[in-house]
Amino acid sequence: MEEIKNLINKAENKLANVDHLLSVTFPIINDGKILAPIAESLAQCSFITMEALLKYERIYKRIHSLPDNLDIMFNIFKSEVALRYKISKNIMIMLNDLKNFLQSRKKSAAEFVKDSKYVICSNEYYTTIITPEKLKTYKDLISQFITKVKEITSKGG
C-alpha cells in the first residue's frame, strides 16, 4: 500500500508542476513550444494515477497481471477497472487522448507552433492539435481522477 501512496503523491506533485506551468509560466512566455512538454507531463501524471489503481487491484487479486506496456495496461484498466469504479467517460476519453498524443508524438513527421497551438502531423498528415484550453481541461480531469483513486485506495479491499 505504501507504493500506491507514493505513486499518488508523485502524480499530485507532477500535477502541481503542470498547474504552475499552465497558470503562471505559459501566460508570461506565451510560447506554444511549452505545450508539448506540459501535455507529456499530464500524460505521465494520468498514467501514474492509473498505475496506482491497477497496483491496488493487483494487491486484492482482482486483476491477474500488471504489464509494463502502456497499451495493454490501458486496455486492462478500461475493460476491468474503470467499469468497477465508475470512472467517468470524460476521464477515459482524456486517458485515451493522452495515450494517442504520446504515440503520435513518437511517430510524427512534423511538429510546429501556430497561434499558441502545438500541432503534430503524422506521415499521412493527420494532425493532433494541443491548445492551452484543452490542457487546462485535462488538468482538471486528472485532478478529479487522482481524488477518486485516493478515495478508492483509502477504503481498502
Nearest to 145 by CA among 21, 47, 13, 1: 47
This prediction's pTM: 0.94
Could you tell me how many residues make up the chain?
Answer: 157
For 74-115, the pLDDT digits (tens) are 999 999 999 999 999 999 999 999 999 999 999 898 999 998
**pLDDT at residue 157 greater than cutoff 80:** no
Q: What does the block give as the cell for 11?
A: 502524480
Q: What is the DSSP string of 113-150?
A: EETTEEEEE-TT--EEEE-HHHHHHHHHHHHHHHHHHH
**pLDDT at residue 64 greater than cutoff 90:** no
Residue 52: partners with Cβ closer than 8 Å, 6 or more residues away: 4, 7, 8, 11, 149, 153
The correct answer on CATH 1.20.120 for the domain covering 2-106+132-155 is yes
Report the chain's mean pLDDT, rounded to a whole number.
Answer: 94
Share of the chain above pLDDT 90, in %: 88
Residue 151: predicted pLDDT: 96
Nearest to 112 by CA among 94, 130, 100, 95: 130
**C-alpha span between 69 and 35 (Å, rounded):** 25
Question: At 53, which helix (H) or strand (E)?
Answer: helix 35-59
Q: What does the block give as the cell for 131?
A: 491548445
